[in-house]
Amino acid sequence: MSNGRAVNGFLLDITGVLYNSIYKSDGVAIAKSAEAVDFLYKHSNVKFLSNAKGNSNRNVARRLQRLGINVREEDVITPAPVVAQYCREHKLRPHLFVREDVLQYFDGIDTSSPNCVVMGEVEEGFSFERINRAFRVLIDMPKPLLITMGNGKFFQRVDGPCIDVGAFAAALKFSTNCEVLNIGKPSRFYFEQGINALGMKPEEIVMVGDDLMSDVGGAQACGMRGIQVRTGKWRPDFEKLPVTPDLTADCLYDAVKLIADNGFRL
């Protein structure tokens, strides 16, 4: 590796980078991710940019803390509050197909006679009845709009990969021809939340993630550098995909150590 360019800030994906997800449990920390986070808080700048859609930022941070990973709530960025703010600014009245824990962000937003659907629900709260309700709202709109919290193909749990919200967005688009607006990685709008939170230029920042297309490719498209870790949803066949990470490391700790040992340059 050459001397490279300065790295002044880190955006870290959470699931698959800091910990691995287990259904209906806190999951398990990924080895040395806690050390990596402590190190970055001490020696650099760090924010956490996740597509997690099931929990409030408070509960995301608390879960990590229970796993021994000291992430501060105020440094966590998840789609739900960003989507709620977007609805406020654009006077949208969403039909909410979301988890109970994130409903709080939509307090005070008019949800009567909806003019869009907000979707951020998979796993236990997902049902035919709920996606059908979203379908019925969309099919009745002259210009149906679906806002999704992320657009992933799948997420990774310890027991295996799981079909993600992007698939159900494709389902609703197939049946209603709706416009799909992703507020989550890899959308530029969402990456800008992380860039603004760090308060620096994209070229000073590295994004570390386990999803090659969404984390790495998305960050690169916004002018950041993208680092792929071989944890979480990483699969060997990612090498066939049309994105080349600026760095690939076995885990977050290795990526951070390598950059730090290089004088915070990559």
For a second copy, the binding residues (CB under 8 A) are: 122-124, 126-128, 131-132, 135-136, 139, 153-154, 160-164, 166-168, 170-176
Chain centroid, CA 205 distance in Å: 17
Residues comprising the chain, all counted: 266
Q: How far is the CB of 176 from a second copy (least distance, A)?
A: 8
Pair of tokens at residue 145: 């709009």
In the complex, minimum distance from the CB of residue 92 to a second copy, in angstroms, rounded to a whole number: 22
d(CA 226, CA 83): 24
Nearest CB to a second copy, comparing residues 69 and 137: 137
Query: What amino acid occupies position 65?
Result: Q
Concatenating the DSSP letter of every residue in 57-86 gives: HHHHHHHHHHTT----GGGEE-HHHHHHHH
Pairing status of strand 76-77 against strand 225-229: unpaired
Query: Both ends of the chain: CA-CA distance in Å?
Result: 8
Question: Which residues is 157 bridged to in the sheet?
Answer: 21, 160
The three-state secondary structure class of 151 is coil
To the nearest whole angstrom, how small is the minimum distance from the Cβ of residue 215 to a second copy?
A: 17
Task: Choose between 47 and 233: whose C-beta lies nearer to a second copy.
Answer: 233
CA distances from 139 to 87, 90, 133 (A): 20, 21, 10
What is the closest distance, in whole angstroms, from the C-beta atom of residue 124 to a second copy in the complex? 7
Q: In terms of CB distance, is 39 or 154 closer to a second copy?
A: 154
CB of 173 to a second copy, least distance (A): 7
- Closer Cβ to a second copy, 169 or 198, answer by number: 169
**Minimum separation from the CB atom of position 177 to a second copy (A):** 9
Give the C-alpha separation, 95 to 112, whole Å.
8
| Nearest approach, Cβ of residue 32 and a second copy (Å) | 29
Could you tell me which of 188, 225, 253 has the C-alpha nearest to residue 6? 225
Q: Which is nearer to a second copy, 103 or 162 (CB)?
A: 162
CA-to-CA distance for 167 and 177, rounded, in angstroms? 14
